[in-house]
């Protein structure tokens, strides 16, 4: 495809700045609740096993909670924990009035079925939005709590004033946590959405039609400059480690001057994902405690 005749100044999304802004707003809301004599919201985080990456993710989530005045409780279980024991713990947390959000860090050891675990969480406390009822509410077009990464993507698009109504949106990837929910969210905002996956034919041609392109395939740099419609908003969700370097699914350098907006693989959508976990927990608290 020929390069655009007019050079385009590509805006690079600053995920950390927007995350800080939204977290500031959440912190103010929690401060008001506490000033009114109410308890702060509480997120319970469960880790089964000692995968170092998962451990660092949950530490990050706990830090994010404490910075906005949200409580966090942690359950670190050995990798050998039987599924029944994990389900029992979830049952206790479901019944605990002092817990508003429950997150079970994935991946789980092989002997534990993630779907059974997701279905055990009370949908009213489903901060990570993995329960089928939460997914169903989005499908029905009435949702409050929803998958964190897609909520972060929508916040990014709105922050940059990206028009969605009647525009062509293309989503690469059909996962439960990114591809499917973001496709629904974009459709609910009246975009014309095309969902692509590993069997899609002539993916490059489909992407070139996109005013908004969301890439969540986990294939480093699969999207090059010639896949991008000039001026398109390009959301790169993919994160892969290659030779000790974090790479996105989009060739970040190559799309400069072609995309209108691009999210970097570091400090892009990642900080927004954690922020939306906090947001979901506060929403769950308000819904349960009418706060």
Q: Tokens 């702060």 appear where? A: 40
C-beta of 221: minimal distance to ligand NAD in Å? Answer: 11
Output the CA–CA distances (angstroms, integers) from residue 231 to 11, 114, 260, in the order listed: 10, 39, 4
**Does 229 participate in catalysis according to the annotation?**
no
User: Cα 156 from chain centroid?
Assistant: 11
DSSP string, 126-190: -TT--SHHHHHHHHTT--SS--HHHHHHHHHHHHTT---TT-EEEEE---TTTHHHHHHHHHHTT
C-beta of 68: minimal distance to ligand NAD in Å? Answer: 18
* Options 126, 128, 236, 251, the catalytic residue: 128
C-beta of 152: minimal distance to ligand NAD in Å? Answer: 7
Do residues 222 and 240 make contact, with C-beta atoms less than 8 angstroms apart? no
C-beta of 77: minimal distance to ligand NAD in Å? Answer: 23
Report the C-alpha gap between 111 and 81 in whole angstroms.
9
Nearer to ligand NAD, 89 or 212 (CB): 212
**Does 105 participate in catalysis according to the annotation?**
yes
**What is the contact surface with ligand NAD in residues (CB under 6 A)?**
149, 172-175, 177-179, 196-198, 200, 203, 216-219, 222, 237-240, 269-270, 273
Nearer to ligand NAD, 89 or 178 (CB): 178
Report the C-alpha gap between 133 and 118 in whole angstroms.
10
Nearer to ligand NAD, 103 or 196 (CB): 196
Nearer to ligand NAD, 144 or 241 (CB): 241
**Does 128 participate in catalysis according to the annotation?**
yes
* Options 105, 125, 180, 236, the catalytic residue: 105
Which residues are known to be catalytic? 61, 105, 128
């Amino acid at each position: 495809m020929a390069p655009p005749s007019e050079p385009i100044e590509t805006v690079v999304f600053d995920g950390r700045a927007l995350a800080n802004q939204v977290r500031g707003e959440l912190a103010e809301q929690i401060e008001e609740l506490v000033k009114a004599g109410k308890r702060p919201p509480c997120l319970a985080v469960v880790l089964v096993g000692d995968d170092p990456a998962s451990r660092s993710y949950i530490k990050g989530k706990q830090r994010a909670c404490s910075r906005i005045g949200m409580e966090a409780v942690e359950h670190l279980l050995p990798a050998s924990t039987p599924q029944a024991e994990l389900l029992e713990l979830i049952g206790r947390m479901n019944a605990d009035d002092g817990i508003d959000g429950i997150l079970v860090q994935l991946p789980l050891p092989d002997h534990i079925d993630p779907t059974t675990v997701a279905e055990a969480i009370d949908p009213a406390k489903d901060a990570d939005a993995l329960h089928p009822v939460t997914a169903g509410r989005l499908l029905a077009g009435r949702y409050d709590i929803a998958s964190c990464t897609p909520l972060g993507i929508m916040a990014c698009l709105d922050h940059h004033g990206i028009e969605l109504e009647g525009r062509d949106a293309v989503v690469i990837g059909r996962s439960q946590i990114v591809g499917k929910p973001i496709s629904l969210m974009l459709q609910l905002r009246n975009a014309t959405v095309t969902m692509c996956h590993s069997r899609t034919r002539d993916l490059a041609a489909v992407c070139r039609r996109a005013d908004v392109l969301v890439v969540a395939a986990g294939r480093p740099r699969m999207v090059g400059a010639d896949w991008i419609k000039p001026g398109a908003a390009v959301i790169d969700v993919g994160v892969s480690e290659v030779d000790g370097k974090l790479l996105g699914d989009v060739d970040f350098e190559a799309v400069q001057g072609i995309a209108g907006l691009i999210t970097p693989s570091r400090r892009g959508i990642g900080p927004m994902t954690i922020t939306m976990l906090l947001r979901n927990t506060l929403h769950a608290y308000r819904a349960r405690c009418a706060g």
